[in-house]
Amino acid sequence: MKKWIFRLLILSAPVLLWMLYFLVSPLRINKADTAIEIEPGSSLRSIAFQLVDNKILNELWRFMILTKVLGQSRKLRPGNYNLNPNITPYQLLLSLVEGRATEGAITFIEGQDLHAMLEKIKANDAIKKTIKPLDSKSIALALNIPYDSVEGQLFPDTYYFSRNTPDIEILRRAYQAMQKKISYEWQHRSEEVPYKNSYEALIMASIIEKETGKSIEANLISGVFIHRLSIGMKLQSDPTVIYGLGKNFTGDLTKKDLLTDNPFNTYTREGLPPTPITMPSLISIRAALHPTKTDALYFVGKGDGTHYFSASLNEHNQAVRKYQLK
């Protein structure tokens, strides 16, 4: 009997050493993958799968064995975690057991422009300010974005982080989230969309975002703009003009504003504006890439968030008189 116990110890020693090495070896997580959200009610297995999917772990079974051996499988806490890239599996387990969730959060809302987002960052005391000046050009340079403008390239969501996380890291996460979304949606786009690349799709999505009051109409509004482009008609979108006016916009769009040329005035210039005009939602992105085929060329707000769509200018003018000139 003693001989069998001795042999078992000899055979298990390499396994124990291997597990010990795993416990204390840094995971070397890519900085883009350090954030993870554990949902309430998640099992050990689902958490382990999530850690693998998020590229925090290479495989799940050693972490699951470790957690079970230490009796912690039912003690993992939900929350939003921002992990140190060099965290070890043991430290990871302790973080999940002790609930060392993040201490800060910031929400970027669809339909907001970059200026509003940057003001939120400036006002958030938990964020370490590192980008100077905090403007579009500096951010694009820091993130290696191949465009001068960051407008529309950050995904609207709530981002959780540990206190004193640099502003550039939060912006990087938002940029990478948008790149992941737009890349996937671009690969599954409808064949008839006329965009040369996914960036043009983002520009259109941003216009749809500002024009849409009810999300159910997003694809139809997209269809109207695609129809206009297909016949060489100008987009004639008020939100693009407002964006181009910037601080000069007084709150009321005038005829002079519509006739004053600038790169974003889609009444005076053909095609798409040079950049997005706001942060589009996933709904608007999908609408831009899956427009509803329509004969409509015009739409006017009915005052309740929905629009009246028409195929002729005469019908459109009647709708304007009915819904706008009461």
pLDDT digit string (tens) for 103-149? 688 899 999 999 999 999 999 988 999 988 888 888 999 999 988 89
Distance of CA 74 to the CA centre of its chain: 32
The pLDDT score that the predictor gives to residue 15 is 64
Q: pTM here? A: 0.73
For the domain spanning 17-98, the CATH number is 3.30.1490.480
Go through 55-87 and write b for each residue having 16 or more CB atoms within 10 A of its CB, e for each that does not. ebbeebebbbebbeeeeebeebeebbbbbeeeb
Query: Which DSSP state fits 278?
Result: S
pLDDT confidence of residue 4? 42
Indicate where the chain has its CATH 3.30.1490.480 domain(s).
17-98
Distance of alpha carbon 80 from alpha carbon 100, whole angstroms: 9
pLDDT of residue 11: 46
Q: Write the CB contacts of 206 (distance below 8 Å, at least 6 apart in sequence).
A: 151, 152, 276, 277, 278, 279, 280, 284
Q: What's the pLDDT score for residue 290?
A: 98
Predicted pLDDT of residue 2:
47
* Regions in the chain scoring below 50 on pLDDT: 1-11
Question: What pLDDT is attached to residue 187?
Answer: 96
Q: Which two tokens stand for residue 223?
A: 């269809």
| pLDDT for the residue 326 | 64
